[in-house]
Structure 1
Amino acid sequence: MAEEKVTRRNEDLLEVIFEISEEKGYAKSRDIAQALHITPATVTDGFKRLQDAGLVNYEPYGGVTLTDEGRCIAERTIQSHTILRTLLELIGADGTVADHDACIMEHGLSPESYGKLLGVVEFIEECCTDPALKKRFEKIVLKKS
């Protein structure tokens, strides 16, 4: 399975390819290089690795598209990032810090752990609609009086 060959760098590439493709309808190496702050040559090397793993369709000097498996990995990585960032923000982390930390933590998060974290976020959000529970949450977790 290609998923076993996916490194953090490859997940980052897949994620950015997905996001740029959703926005523009296609992804070019210069757009990806700019988004990840790496050289176009590094992006091209990444495209070749991803193509060898069956995760993208790549035409030199052209664009790159995700295969179905590449799209699944990109979507799962984005979902993991989103839930981790949301959890960190709920427990009081600054948005920029939460986004940075989520980017580090998103890689390798198992579907089981993702599901558990999603449940925790849903529980916290639901509890915070009750004023008494919200106050208790803020006192215990956020250390507010």
Structure 2
Amino acid sequence: MKKEDKSLTASMEDYLEMIYRLSRKTGFVRLHELSDALNVQPPSATKMVQKLAELNLINYEKYGVITLGDSGKVLGERLIKRHNIISDFLRAIDVTESEILEETEKIEHTISANTLDRFNGFIEFLNYNPDIKLKLKSYMESKQKSSNKE
């Protein structure tokens, strides 16, 4: 995303992604919920929320709820999709579940749209070819076992 939209930092993307996630059920999120989910102090969350509001991605009034604006919803959905594609790709190449979130966070802010599209194409290919998916999983597991022996 950063490459397509220079105005958003990685941290801004993380906040917007989390606001999108948390507001899916109710349509809004409270500041303390956001700060808890991101493991940051409320004053830090307030500053970032104000920046996102200045960019018209969210709506926020002091001591009120946070809601996504139209462009924030669109971008939030794209951020979630990007996150999920990267996570699915890492699972497909047998990255351990305990490492997937951290690795996804490292990749998602620097990946180009073209590379993300390639990741998605690879995942779709595997899903349309379950026999190849099983062969890849078996191969990756055998590679892991042989590297553990060394």
Secondary structure of residue in 1 paired with 2:29: coil
CA separation of 1:109 and 1:69: change in aligned 2, threshold 3 A: farther
Would you say 1:99 and 2:98 are equivalent positions? no
Secondary structure of residue in 2 paired with 1:5: coil
Alpha-carbon distance between aligned partners in 2 of 1:49 and 1:134, rounded to the nearest angstrom? 43
TM-score (norm 1): 0.86
Deviation at 1:31, TM superposition (A): 0.1
Deviation at 1:3, TM superposition (A): 3.3
Question: Given the alignment, which residue of 30, 33, 36 partners 1:31?
Answer: 33
Deviation at 1:67, TM superposition (A): 1.5
Question: Given the alignment, which residue of 87, 90, 93 partners 1:88?
Answer: 90
Bigger shift: residues 56-65 or 135-144: 135-144
Aligned residue number for residue 21 of structure 2 = 19
Question: Given the alignment, which residue of 35, 56, 59 partners 1:57?
Answer: 59
Aligned residues: 141
Aligned residue number for residue 143 of structure 1 = 142
Moved over 6 A (4+): none
Alpha-carbon distance between aligned partners in 2 of 1:13 and 1:101, rounded to the nearest angstrom? 18
Secondary structure of residue in 2 paired with 1:80: helix
* Contact persistence 1:3–1:73 (CA under 8 A): no
Deviation at 1:101, TM superposition (A): 0.8
Gaps of 5+ in 2: 146-150
Gaps of 5+ in 1: none
TM-score (norm 2): 0.83
Alpha-carbon distance between aligned partners in 2 of 1:135 and 1:19, rounded to the nearest angstrom? 31
CA separation of 1:138 and 1:48: change in aligned 2, threshold 3 A: closer
